[in-house]
Structure 1
Amino acid sequence: MEYETIRAAVDAETEISRSRFITRLERVSTEEEARAVIARVRAEHPRARHHCTAFVIGPDGRIQRSNDDGEPSGTAGAPMLDALTSSGLYDVVAVVTRYFGGVLLGAGGLTRAYRASVADAVHRADRVRRAIRQEVTVHCSYEVAAQIESEARRRGFGIGGAEYSDHVAQRFAVARAEIVPFTELVAELSAGAAEFEQGAAEFVDLSA
């Protein structure tokens, strides 16, 4: 299973009928993290009239929330959430801060403004794919560690951290279907001397 999220936070701003719409798009992994982002944005703009929000969390989008924060019902949070779900992004929270400019936009105008604000931030975002990978730690001698890492990188296996003692313990992120080819590769390069230790399977960012 794979899904897309954003690599880094995005800020965007637009002015519509003298109202400023400032959008923050951030990557989160839990509802608690999303609400912490919302609280932080509120603190950054204490004089703004509205801080409308939407977030989609989980690789299957199982958690979806939105809030109009005082705007007419259905004119802010819902169109923001629609912009997120339409984008195909997950594990993201959007906060649109509005500084009222004195001109009423009406329900239709607000709906378009909030949806467009999030869509603009999404368009600016640097996307990254995530997929489940098995952590495999290879214990080997210093003599072959660099060769294993180089060949693993060339073949597209994820490279993690390493620990050094009397030998090298190098971590790799391997797709489940590639576990056997990976271990065969390492066995060949190390002449059967390397040892393997499997860790947890979890979602990781994939290289472009």
Structure 2
Amino acid sequence: MLPEYKTVYRGGEGEITEKKSRFIANVAPVASEEEVLELLEAARKKYWDARHNCFAYVIGERGELKRFSDDGEPNGTAGKPILEVLTGEGLSNTLIVVTRYFGGTLLGTGGLVRAYGAAAKAGLAASVVISKFPGLKLHITTDYTGLGKIQYILGQRGLTVLDTVYTDKVEMVVLTPQKETDAVKAEITEGTNGQAVLEEGDSCYLAEIDGKMQMV
């Protein structure tokens, strides 16, 4: 797993106008080229009367796959500046489609490059961008005397409890950033005088979304 990488969690739509031409950017998270093709087809149907639907995408945690299209605009004036916005922001698994409605005035190559880049940035500004980092599910088993201390530690660290089962003991599943796991385990062990049983579970990616750590 990578130490950390950025992606779009929730896509958005942004729009700019340049010399009466409308540039509408739609951003979406994608995990495969099949998803890209479906979203491109949907964009072409939605904006069926537009002259151009230009796009760029980056797929792979390390950005292994990069593609772009000018869709009839002069070579290098649309898809490439959109891609440069994606790579400049360090985003992976993200698609940006910029639809242009021609306003009757030619923008020139420089004007097109600026407009498509600005539209892509407007689309990202309307999206939710997250940083994904490695984590794991920490399984905690404790008696009721240690529960309060564990809850306090988890609350202080802002850790998310996925599940809690109450029987004659308490079993919890907690999302823990990988780099904090050893410290969390040591703190719980000390806080419960070694009475809590701690087991590391499945690895996963985590991100902070709306102020809460979530599995993504």
Which TM-score bucket, shorter chain as reference? 0.7 to 0.9
1:201 to 196, 200, 203: 203
SS of corresponding position for 2:61? coil
Aligned equivalents of 1:32, 1:106: Cα separation in 2: 33
Aligned equivalents of 1:148, 1:50: Cα separation in 2: 57
1:159 corresponding residue in structure 2: 160
More divergent stretch after superposition (173-182 vs 96-105): 173-182
Residue correspondence of structure 1 range 137-176 to structure 2 within 5 A: 137-141=139-143, 144-156=146-158, 158-166=159-167, 167-176=169-178
Q: Deviations over 1:70-106 (max 9, x none)?
A: 2222221111101111122333211101112233323
More divergent stretch after superposition (136-145 vs 51-60): 136-145
1:121 corresponding residue in structure 2: 123
Aligned equivalents of 1:76, 1:140: Cα separation in 2: 58
- Answering whether residue 57 of structure 2 is matched by residue 61 of structure 1, we say no
Deviation at 1:124, TM superposition (A): 4.6
Alignment coverage as a number of residue pairs: 207
2:214 corresponding residue in structure 1: none
Q: Deviations over 1:118-160 (max 9, x none)?
A: 123334544422211122121334554454233123134x314
Q: Deviations over 1:2-23 (max 9, x none)?
A: 2223343221111112211101
| Equivalent position amino acid for 1:161 in 2 | L
Structure 2: which 5+ residue stretches go unaligned? 212-216
Task: Give identity over the alignment, percent.
Answer: 32
1:81 corresponding residue in structure 2: 83
Query: TM-score, normalised on structure 1?
Result: 0.83
Residues 125/192 of structure 1: CA separation in 2 closer, same or farther (3 Å cut): same
More divergent stretch after superposition (29-38 vs 18-27): 29-38
Q: Deviations over 1:151-202 (max 9, x none)?
A: 123134x314104252443222333343332222222333433223322223
Query: TM-score, normalised on structure 2?
Result: 0.81
| Equivalent position amino acid for 1:162 in 2 | D
| Equivalent position amino acid for 1:164 in 2 | V
Residues 195/29 of structure 1: CA separation in 2 closer, same or farther (3 Å cut): farther
